[in-house]
Structure 1
């Protein structure tokens, strides 16, 4: 019917505008237009092949195609108008108005009483509304509720930001350096099993990555897998459309030096957000903590490692930057994987490796396994069956050597290990591995990036990196252009959001200089 009307010189569209057939008309309009377009192209080819008798047919096809396009536009406009009328009628419904009023009142009450819950709910709903096909059509999102709850749970159960464990604390102080309040009973920590400790966490100095403009800050304890796969995990709780991809420039600062910027990609893989294409510095040890900062309306991101005032040596490996003790216990294998060893491998080595990889960790990096599960865990990592009978003797030798020790702990009803045991836990013998920690002499100021004593001297103009949120002034950009014109600097584009120009000047002597 639509095709026949399109071929008429003056079609009557009144019948098609009836609500009973309007949706069908709009649905068929594009298919009809495509068919008329094919007829037109076929006749154009015939005319091009000198078949003059097809000229009249081509003119008729042109008219039909133009009319079909017009009918398609009319159909879409009438359908939108019909939907608007239906929407207005629904809005004017007293029952609907009362229901909406009650929902708004309930939402406002939740926002007042539970502000920490209201904000992530609002963020999740905002992202969903922008990407949901049903919401775009004005349909109900009832089928989307399980997905929304899943996203909200990922935010609410994400590990809270905590201070890095990077050195020994002063007596009487807590992790922030402030005087610790005396407590009657210390809290017994639950030991974290394999996969239960996150290598990435949000920092309290910034926000989580979410829609809108925020200054996001997070910390990553680098693992070997991250280095090998050239990726960087993002903590749970990121709120962005799942299909979104961002191309960013990463500026890495390690060992008091900035590396060349690199191109990375932010995307979701397997339900988790991560940075791909990260070229970690070759001198970066597994377990080091890297702080990332990103203003989400910018395409630049910074990554920084922080030096320790007093370096530490963990089982013979020296760390001069802040590190995560749990990740170091998992990742630091001085002798490598026994399965790939060229010579004979001792049972003691298998026991130590099993404790470090599968043991339940405490914040200080100590790894613990139940004694009755030690053999089974060794076998799961590839220990040959012929060695299992020697595990008890190897454990005794390691205890005598001071490499591990046997303690009495607790096991809860879910199989979790606790040390020391809590009231109500079933007692169990535990095998504990504790890293050997040596605190070294403080690093010199020069090694930590502080200026050494110097004499007075002339300083040439140079480019300086700006801290996050700073902006170069117009005057400094003018001085930079003047320096380039005077051939004092090589000409290159200067981003005023990231760099500024320091004009040439004389630097005075510092203490110890001349």
Structure 2
């Protein structure tokens, strides 16, 4: 029996538009067929299994996709969806998300389902602050790695932020950048650029070295809904955070990690101890 399966990360445009890309193998059969039942199998907030069925049809935009889907609110940009179709049931498509064992928080946004860190980095909503514009430039226009970290040549930052020109623009940019570095959102590192200006980090031999801005997502455990009360403090468990290549954790962080987990801290990571957070 012919079967087609595709696993893809959902972008914000997919969620807002209520669409999902289709496996190429089913296009020839379904392109002129309709209506099609799309069955969404999903665990709400990673806990409660639920199934919803939508009447849809195959349509072509940039690629072939199914429409008229109402994605659950807790499905964030970057969440993986697995789309399955069988020739024996040609009028039905099944879309599944996969709940994680425990929810996590990525830069303040809670994720309950498996996701692609690269898409999460790219789909950052900057807001209107100067800090947001600088962080957006690095995450949107920099080179993104598989773990969601990103680098951007600092020399190209001003052109990407839209903070204005002249002495005022320079001041606003420097102030926002210094604040992000001070708070640990960005780190200055040395990388390199190829002939086309594409960044590499660590620096590649034979390429021109350049000052880079390095971003690594803040990933920490998150509570399930109802486990934290608004306006009250709650404990965040200790967690590890990636460091820029070449950076080392302090002896204190290494000792804390070993004391808490009874395991050695992996190279390239630091340990953030258990702390209180206000909701």
Q: 1:278 aligns with which of 55, 69, 72?
A: 69
Give the drift of 1:242.
Answer: 11
| Whole-Å separation in 1 of the counterparts to 2:7 and 2:169 | 40
Report the CA distance shift for 1:440/1:394 in structure 2 as closer, same or farther (over 3 A): closer
**Residue 328 (1) aligns with residue 124 (2):** no
**Secondary structure in 1 aligned to 2:39?**
strand
In structure 1, what is the equivalent of residue 106 of structure 2? 314
| Whole-Å separation in 2 of the counterparts to 1:376 and 1:311 | 37
Conserved? CA contact 2:6–2:82, under 8 Å: yes
In structure 2, what is the equivalent of residue 202 of structure 1? none
In structure 2, what is the equivalent of residue 354 of structure 1? 137
| Whole-Å separation in 2 of the counterparts to 1:388 and 1:296 | 59
Post-superposition CA distance 1:400-436 (Å, at most 9, x none): 2211001111211232211112222221111111111
Work out which of the two has the higher radius of gyration on C-alpha atoms and give 1 or 2. Answer: 1
**1:433-512 aligned within 5 A:** 433-439=215-221
In structure 2, what is the equivalent of residue 244 of structure 1? 31
Instruction: Output the TM-score relative to the length of structure 2.
Output: 0.69
Report the CA distance shift for 1:242/1:351 in structure 2 as closer, same or farther (over 3 A): farther
| Whole-Å separation in 2 of the counterparts to 1:310 and 1:257 | 15
**Residue 398 (1) aligns with residue 219 (2):** no
**Residue 225 (1) aligns with residue 17 (2):** no
**1:190-269 aligned within 5 A:** 214-234=2-22, 240=27, 244-247=31-34, 248-255=36-43, 256-269=48-61
In structure 2, what is the equivalent of residue 388 of structure 1? 169
Question: Relative contact order: is structure 1 or structure 2 higher (C-alpha 8 Å, sep ≥ 6)?
Answer: 2
From the two aligned structures, give the one with the greater strand fraction: 2
Q: 2:160 aligns with which of 377, 380, 386?
A: 377
Task: Give 5+ residue unaligned stretches, structure 1.
Answer: 1-212, 339-344, 443-514
Conserved? CA contact 1:251–1:258, under 8 Å: no
Report the CA distance shift for 1:246/1:428 in structure 2 as closer, same or farther (over 3 A): farther
In structure 2, what is the equivalent of residue 428 of structure 1? 210
**Secondary structure in 2 aligned to 1:219?**
strand
Post-superposition CA distance 1:338-370 (Å, at most 9, x none): 2xxxxxx3x222211222222220111112211
Give the drift of 1:293.
Answer: 1.0
**Residue 337 (1) aligns with residue 127 (2):** yes
**Residue 367 (1) aligns with residue 138 (2):** no
Conserved? CA contact 1:355–1:369, under 8 Å: yes
Aligned residues: 217
**Secondary structure in 1 aligned to 2:105?**
strand
Conserved? CA contact 1:286–1:332, under 8 Å: no
| Whole-Å separation in 1 of the counterparts to 2:27 and 2:54 | 23
**RMSD value over aligned CA atoms?**
2.7
Conserved? CA contact 1:370–1:428, under 8 Å: yes
**Secondary structure in 2 aligned to 1:392?**
helix
| Whole-Å separation in 2 of the counterparts to 1:401 and 1:282 | 30
Conserved? CA contact 2:110–2:222, under 8 Å: no
Conserved? CA contact 2:104–2:111, under 8 Å: yes
Give the drift of 1:377.
Answer: 0.9
Conserved? CA contact 1:251–1:260, under 8 Å: yes
Report the CA distance shift for 1:275/1:243 in structure 2 as closer, same or farther (over 3 A): closer
| Whole-Å separation in 2 of the counterparts to 1:285 and 1:313 | 12
From the two aligned structures, give the one with the greater helix fraction: 1
Report the CA distance shift for 1:215/1:366 in structure 2 as closer, same or farther (over 3 A): same
| Whole-Å separation in 1 of the counterparts to 2:98 and 2:8 | 12
**Secondary structure in 2 aligned to 1:427?**
strand
Report the CA distance shift for 1:405/1:273 in structure 2 as closer, same or farther (over 3 A): same
Q: 2:81 aligns with which of 280, 290, 306?
A: 290
**Secondary structure in 2 aligned to 1:285?**
coil
Conserved? CA contact 2:4–2:26, under 8 Å: no
Report the CA distance shift for 1:431/1:286 in structure 2 as closer, same or farther (over 3 A): same
Task: Give 5+ residue unaligned stretches, structure 2.
Answer: 225-279
Report the CA distance shift for 1:240/1:223 in structure 2 as closer, same or farther (over 3 A): closer
Conserved? CA contact 2:181–2:187, under 8 Å: yes
| Whole-Å separation in 2 of the counterparts to 1:363 and 1:416 | 16
